[in-house]
Chains A and B, each alone.
Chain A
Amino acid sequence: MRGLLAKRTSAGPLDYIHQGWMKLTLGLSFVFLYSPLLILVIFSFNDSRRNIVWRGFTTKYYEKAWNNDGLIEAFANSLTIAFLCTIISTILGAMVALLLWRFRFPLKGAYEGAMTLPIVIPEICMGVAMMAFFSRVGWPSGLVWPFNLSAITIAHISFCFPFVAVIVRARLANFNLELEEAAKDLGASEWQFFRDIMIPFMRPGLIAGALLAFTLSLDDFVITFFTSGPDTVTLPVKIYSMVRFSVTPEINAASTVLIAITLVLTTIALWLQSRAGQKLGH
């Protein structure tokens, strides 16, 4: 019976993937999605400044980008901001997730709704609000590094931690409450239960959330654009000003580095999540 069914579905009319037009659509879609990025990466190694024709392999634009002090400074700023943002966002996000998962309290709906606001409102609105806020409260500018990055970091945390909260909460939804009963029956205190059961259980969610926060912070342009000053430029803001000026292989090189970092981090996050999901399945 099972073999019969399997045979039927493999040759059946619902087997769209094996139909030519479906393969073609899928293929064209991936060409549409990937060719601009592939071209960007390939031509960062092209030994020609203007031409769109391949003129041989070179890494000189990477050297040039590496020797461009402004670019390296912007990159260092981006990494610093992303690092600080990740730590604080993960802590705040985990707190929100635990609170919403475990407790009932008055105005919980309002609290939850407010926490999703930074995810849903248009980026431009958040950007200008942050710009107006920091200028009106007289936020100190021109401080020594890394304190001059505080405004951007704060703005990044505000939009990153709600995302962390969503991811960690999704993980908590799978928590087996019997584990808590067992721990408490065996005499664990609230703190011991939290430290020995909850934190290890939340770990994949925390790591995935932290990687997401890091990527979001590293990639953000619009909100940073409104909170950065002349001395506090991040990599995307720097790339933006270079793009406005002209299209050069140096930008391709800087972009390729940023793409590579994001890809590695995302792959790790997705892999961790799927591994955590598989563990639950067993």
Chain B
Amino acid sequence: MTARTVLTLAALTLREAARRRVLRSLGLLMVVLLGLSAWGFSSLLHMEFDGATLTTGEARLVASQVINLVMFGLSLIAALGTAFLAGPTLAGEMESGIALAVLARPVRRSAVLLGKWLGLVIFGAGFVVVAGLAQFVIVWVTVGYWPPQPVTGLALLAAQTAVLLTLGLLLSTAISPMASGIVAVGLFGATWIAGVVGGVGLALGNESVAQVGTVSRMLLPTDGLWRGAMHAFQDPLALAQAGGPALQGGFPFLSVAPLAPAYLAWTALWVALVLGLAVLAFRRRDL
């Protein structure tokens, strides 16, 4: 009975996303971003610096950085989209009364929440994979660069989306739909900035500043996953040749190391904990 409820709610959430203009808005944003990046990458090849065009190695290095930049834009769109979907789907339904009729059925609240979570994860992951692959194809066609670990990178980006929407669901069990979306996206931005600050600290050799990034990455794993994804997208050879302070963490669109398995385990635990908290809060909630 529980599995059926989870699957029914997951399918319902996907249908909601498809019908509620969210998919269309995200699709439109994606097309704009991909179009701009196609234009940018094609002009990259013909760009002249001090009277000379880029060498192949330089072009690959620049492509590595720009692909990370564009993928950051993509992950931001995915994060915004799912966070603003996660809020209304739970808090909005409790506020409007839609949840009353659904929860009066022979269903467990935990199954309803898990179903919604699953639907949102599939939606977010699907978006990231489709948009990411489209971006890779554009870069490959324009500059001939294909990221070294596309599957790992996209999986990490999908995980980042899952982390953020899990947080959005937890928030939406306690606060209003709009507020939960705003807080989730705000925290996502704050963690990214903390990551950049930590990177600067690392580059300057200031340990306490560098700690800011590490701690924020533990509290909300979005930035950590994002850094892992960047590492999977960038060209290791070109980066090794370039070296320098950019690689030491000072530049926000390059990442020096892949993710440690321990960090991935922590992320999985984090998602399970936050989802568990959301289930507890939702079960105790009076409608």
A and B are interacting partners = no
User: Which residues of B are in contact with A by a Cβ distance under 8 Å?
Assistant: none
User: Which residues of A are in contact with B by a Cβ distance under 8 Å?
Assistant: none
